[in-house]
Structure 1
């Protein structure tokens, strides 16, 4: 399967093919819902999407995979080295060496003319995770989310293709990236708190009488407080509204890419449904969409994607 995708994408050089193959493995292992949605894209599009995912995941792993006893200085050094290798490869003859995520993403960015500023903004937000553990208000969180989520949508846009000018579709792509991340923030409050981070605006939590101490109490006791439930319900409604902002952007995409994005939007937004079904009891359990539902949606999407590719003569 991967060989046919690389052939369709015109990737011929053996080392580059291996880099893309490893990015695909990262996506399949660590981003199951996202990977499932990529199966709805044409084979020629998939390697680029895997490369972008692999790059983002590589940066995220640098932040989260080190033992806390080794300190943030080591993580900062590793992230800076990763950033330096990326931009050295862009601006000179430096080779990415044995880092497949950089090899593949540099090739993808050049092929699809993805702006390097988007990668710089992404890495800037990743650096924030080294020192910022709380966000005082929505504006501060929005600044973080631009680099950590909205630019992901903007990076993917050239790969997905649009029916009109890219800039007209860009706000919708950014909104969808934000909607996905807001969903993660709600689903992962427990996990993020264990890492010392809270990705919910402190002033909006405080309006319901919620602070870090109360969230920590909920985590320790594996139960939700009524004040926390109300605060999470408000954040849940905000995430829903962002999905509503993103939805009208699907028709701005190339017809062959619409089934993929539609399925991804539906499945990810259904995580919000599961959180609501759990009555916001997010401590000790993780909201997820069942495999049967994911496969059912994917099967329907594959049929639509195949028909769209046939109509437009896309491999």
Structure 2
């Protein structure tokens, strides 16, 4: 009798655990928020995060620290994009992160254009060091807004939302992704400038910081409007992530420019736990 062991199922499970390890290693905030998602949704979000994080690490110093030349880093990124795009049509990959991502991408119907836009932004990080407003908007779209749109694909994979509600949720997803990226610009001022030689915000003053903070708050407010439209299994996690970044904005606004330029502003673990709990109970009672 043929061996009936579930070889693919075991590989799928291992790949899913691999992406869960990636998110846990790199982001306490997203790990905490993802735990409020339904299990099925959480595994898919972890798969998306895992792919995005590996690409980020390629351009943000890991490959260079391993001794790769700039030309080699560019080639690594190109090869990684090629393999990720192949996973949209291929049901197996030897890389567990790409394998898990491919499973999620095919199931949820990720758009190739969104993935290409993401890698185009990552590619800019290899050579572009300053940005004008138009270029920055393009960068934010590819590096963050399309990630929000892919997250929404995950949330709505079993949904029959109306076209009007989908449009509203897509707007919210893009605004939330943009808010996350702008927060990271402020948090990573020192690292981007000193370690990576990048300046997304070329002239940084207190008035500029306050202007960016207002812009981020507007993005977060717009994103919050669409949270009630999301399926129940996604709402608490998205609300927790939104509120965590809202707290980060408060801390960034109150920090001195010297602190912003010299270190990464964060949220205390106890505060994160409190925000996550409040988000969970708010959605439970709302339902």
Above 0.5 in TM-score? yes
Moved more, 255-264 or 36-45: 255-264
Specify whether residues 303 and 244 from structure 1 end up closer, same or farther in structure 2 by C-alpha distance, changes over 3 A only.
Answer: closer
Cα displacement (A) at 1:81: 0.9
The 8 Å contact of residues 257 and 305 in structure 1, kept in 2 or not, is answered as no
**Aligned partners of 2:222, 2:282: CA distance in 1, in Å?**
23
Q: What is the match of residue 286 of structure 1?
A: 264
Q: What is the match of residue 126 of structure 1?
A: 122
Specify whether residues 288 and 67 from structure 1 end up closer, same or farther in structure 2 by C-alpha distance, changes over 3 A only.
Answer: same
Moved more, 146-155 or 109-118: 109-118
Q: What is the match of residue 134 of structure 2?
A: 139
Specify whether residues 27 and 92 from structure 1 end up closer, same or farther in structure 2 by C-alpha distance, changes over 3 A only.
Answer: closer
Q: What is the match of residue 96 of structure 1?
A: 93
**Aligned partners of 1:123, 1:15: CA distance in 2, in Å?**
26
- The answer to whether 1:254 aligns with 2:231 is yes
The 8 Å contact of residues 39 and 302 in structure 1, kept in 2 or not, is answered as no
Q: What is the match of residue 112 of structure 1?
A: 108
The 8 Å contact of residues 109 and 153 in structure 2, kept in 1 or not, is answered as yes
**Aligned partners of 1:38, 1:17: CA distance in 2, in Å?**
18
The runs of at least 4 consecutive aligned structure 1 residues that moved more than 6 Å come to: none
- The answer to whether 1:66 aligns with 2:63 is yes
What SS class does the counterpart of residue 131 from structure 1 fall into?
coil
Specify whether residues 154 and 199 from structure 1 end up closer, same or farther in structure 2 by C-alpha distance, changes over 3 A only.
Answer: same
Q: What is the match of residue 16 of structure 1?
A: 12
- Alpha-carbon deviations, 1:89-110, whole Å to 9, x = none? 33457x421x111100110011
Aligned residue pairs total: 272
Q: 1:81 aligns with which of 74, 79, 82?
A: 79
In structure 2, list runs of 5 or more residues that go unmatched: 1-6
Cα displacement (A) at 1:275: 1.4
Q: What is the match of residue 189 of structure 2?
A: 189
Q: What is the match of residue 214 of structure 1?
A: none
User: Structure 1-normalised TM-score?
Assistant: 0.80
**Aligned partners of 1:196, 1:109: CA distance in 2, in Å?**
33
In structure 1, list runs of 5 or more residues that go unmatched: 1-10, 211-227
- Alpha-carbon deviations, 1:115-153, whole Å to 9, x = none? 2221111111111111111002x2110001111000010
Compute the RMSD of aligned alpha carbons: 2.1
The 8 Å contact of residues 271 and 288 in structure 1, kept in 2 or not, is answered as yes
**Aligned partners of 2:29, 2:50: CA distance in 1, in Å?**
15
